[in-house]
Structure 1
Amino acid sequence: MKTILSLKSLLVVALLSIGALSPSLSHSAEQEVDRVAAIVNSTVVLESEVQDMIKNVKAQAKAKSQTLPSDTAIRVQVMDKLINEALILELGDRMGVQISDAQLDETILNLAKSNNMSLEQFRQIIVNDGMSYEAYRESVRNELVLGEVRRASVRRRIYISPQEVANLLETMKQQTSQNEEYNIGHILIEFPPEPKQADLDAAKKRADKVIELLNNGSEFRKIAIASSGDANALDGGSIGWKTINELPTLFAEVIDGKKKGEVFGPIRTGLGFSIVKILDVRGREVVEVEEVKARHILIKPTIILSEAKAEEMLQGFLDQIAAGEADFAELAKEHSEGPTSVRGGDLGWSDPNKYDPAFRDTLASLDIDEYSKPFRSSFGWHITQLTGRRMLDATAQMNENKAYQMLYNRKFGMESARWIKETRDEAYIEIFDQE
């Protein structure tokens, strides 16, 4: 949950510091009658809030052996923070931002886990420090609201163009390519020193045949030994691990950024036609995702059709398919409910994590072409057949997402500062002098 992660460092440090929670949580035994330190639109900032936050700042600095500026400088910063928070919380009320008790409980539970504590241990530490647990919960709720309002308000101000993403991706590629190494296989189909057109045509024809064999799954090493005129022929054509800058320029331009297993050529050089295969790549972050292909028949129980009857119907379909008396696709077209029935129940290729958990787990247990037994999901009763699995390279999408997020983070800080300044400029703020 993103909200939890954005607050974790703040709240954990606050918990482990002496009295370092929101200002409303610390109370001295003797407290003077409170007064208003500032008016922020229709909200007031109390002097007790200011003093408590100043004490908390000093306590945290002392715990970390840090030095602080003058009390006057600290007060200015504390007032700014409390005014900003008052404005954002007021805006949150107008926007209708609410944090449910369930979301709040999940946040606090994750904070406890991050400190290797149970919820009860976490709560006891708060109580032992003389703090009200309910007040602590509300301080966390306020922090969650602050985060939600800030993100929602700033997000709409940020625009990232496709060209910005492309430019950053190119920069990232140049930086990471220096660490990448390629294990390259090379086959050279030679022609004579002063070739005639017939020599060139014959060499080109042989090179095309080699590429055809490789693309059809023939072993590179075996073909290199049999056909290559390169000095590395007896090594199976391997020229070893090289960075992109260590490779011949002609090869580097062709393979830069390409994937393991790809074959390139024929590339004409002064010696003949070169065929290059990327045998392996290292130093590159690769992300693969699994997709599955499946089809299913869905029967939804009703008042008339009981759960047991729906399960029995599907088992009957399986028995007919096993006996060769019926075809899965035809049964799906006739009996299955849902949009896939017209396609014979075909779900196409998909990330299994997008499916209902029961459906996902059932597919995970099947071999290719295997049928499942009838099972229940949140949609109803199913039988399914797994018809394929494949691994897709999601590295490009991951890198694009990473570039977008980097640009977003860069702009978020600047736009957040502009947003809060504009919000303050439009607000009524009156700060009262200390007595």
Structure 2
Amino acid sequence: MKNSVKILALVSSLIVGTLTPAHADEALVDRVAAIVNGGVVLESEVAGLLASIKQQAKQNNQSLPSDSALRTQVMDKLINDSLLIQMGERMGIQVSDAQLDQTIARMAQDNKLSIEQFRQNIIADGTNYEVYRESIRTELIAGEVRRNSVGRRVFVSPQEIDNLLSLMKEQTNNDVEYNLGHILIEFPADPTQQDMEDAKTRANKVIELLNNGSNFAKIAIASSGDANALKGGELGWKNINEMPTLFADLIDGKAKDTVVGPIRTGLGYSIVKVLDIRGRQVVEVEEVRASHILIEPSIILSDDKAKELLQGLLEQVEAGEADFSELAKEHSDGPTAIRGGDLGWADPKSYDPAFRDALASMKVGEYHKPFRSSFGWHIIQLNDRRMIDATSQMNEKRAYQILHSRKFGIESARWMKETRDEAYIEIFEQDEK
């Protein structure tokens, strides 16, 4: 099976723990491993995720830390997931079966597989497909919670965009990408001076181990407080402008296997390793041009009524009795109404997941039946599609995306730490066997 499918299986298993051991102890099913506000993490979830990670590591010849260290990271992951899902419930975020099916279909297509082939590959990896499917739903909800909660904390000014555009015109190293590994030695909540000194001591010890040849991924899994810890700390391929500024200044021009740090941040001490270097890959991305009519439900207008209203408008358009843009000007909520619902050219990944998935299923010239996103109810008209060279295109929109992504990653980590610090979390000790 392709590595990308295996990675998807691992990532999704990090959401709820998808693997059910063949001879799991039934006594573990109802045992509570942790209380998280009004929810719980079950020992069966912990055991399932541990088994899944160990299986994936075995398939990839990846060494792992001790069971105790691995369990600590797994508990952290499941606690974070529980917090996000609880927040999603309060925010009313839902992922329908249709949206879930569209997402899985796109994952299969990305791996050049049919849906049935994709399903069989997941099962062949020893994972219960129905549980895996639900873990994708959970992943989508958690991602939407992060976008809604963190997005409002991120602001990119016009001056920042101008500064980045000017900088990129002067750079001569835009053709280089770095695959980075990251280990975060976290500060506790409200750290004292001694806490910070202790964290720096641990960070220096990690750097010493790495410089003496220790396995980066193994140490990241055992010690890192970063969200990517269970993936061996790998951040993926980035050029200088796409990585956090603190990292970029230290990484620029460095050779493969270089370790830099400790780098002091608001969360703790970061250690970064250059895992690999390559020439920048030519990346083509699809852009779509679409128009939509948005109806926002309210106390006066229920969800059902909003959906019914849009269905009536769509039937008028399809019967040739009305023009889509004119109906948008008259009925649509939001800033695009004045333009007849025209959203202009955009990367579909920048849209709400439900909107993005709806676009993925459409052909040029088609209309999409009413569907729900986090903004309200929509109908869409897909006007056109095109492919562009994302590596050569540099305009204000691209600069904004780079800056927003940079800030979002930093703010997301801060927000998650604040969320945990404010939560009631009680972890129960594992019974000795």
Short-chain TM bin:
0.3 to 0.5
Normalised to the residue count of structure 2, the TM-score between the two structures is: 0.47
Which entry has the higher C-alpha Rg, 1 or 2?
1
Normalised to the residue count of structure 1, the TM-score between the two structures is: 0.47
